[in-house]
Amino acid sequence: MRRIYAETGDQDGTRVLVDRSWPRGVTKAKADLDEWCKDVAPSTTLRKWYDHDPGKFSEFSRRYRAELEQPEGAEALKHLRELADGHRLTLLTATKNPDISQAAVLADLLRP
């Protein structure tokens, strides 16, 4: 996982944006995406509640995982698993600290 503002790396593999909103100041060409998977992102309500507060990350992770069990989230997560099956997958996010973001939760769920 990495911030979408970082340079594309040689080892990135399939690059997937996992944010619900398009990142500010990034053109689609500069993003160099393979996919934008909005449906795997946390709900707006959850995202606003969390507000990237490190003290809420554990509860955010629990609530987000519950959202990913709902049909839309489950289907999007299944799609990411298919992309990752036997291939390198880079989860992209615009958040300032990817280690406490939805990308971190997804990376944990996608690890074999």
43-97 pLDDT tens trace? 999 999 999 999 999 999 999 999 999 999 999 999 999 999 989 999 999 999 9
Q: Which domain holds residue 104?
A: 2-110
Residues 8-37: tens digit of each pLDDT:
988 999 999 999 999 999 998 899 999 999
**Taking the alpha carbons of 67, 23, 3, 11 in that order, is the dihedral positive or negative?**
positive
Q: What is the largest CA-CA distance in the chain?
A: 36
Band of the pLDDT at 5, cuts 50, 70, 90?
A: very high
Rounded Cα–Cα distance for residues 67 and 8 (Å): 30
Domains contained in the chain, number: 1
What pLDDT band is residue 112 in, cutting at 50, 70 and 90? Answer: confident
State how far the alpha carbon of 27 is from the alpha carbons of 4, 30, 41, 49, 67, in Å: 11, 5, 20, 28, 29
This prediction has a pTM of 0.93
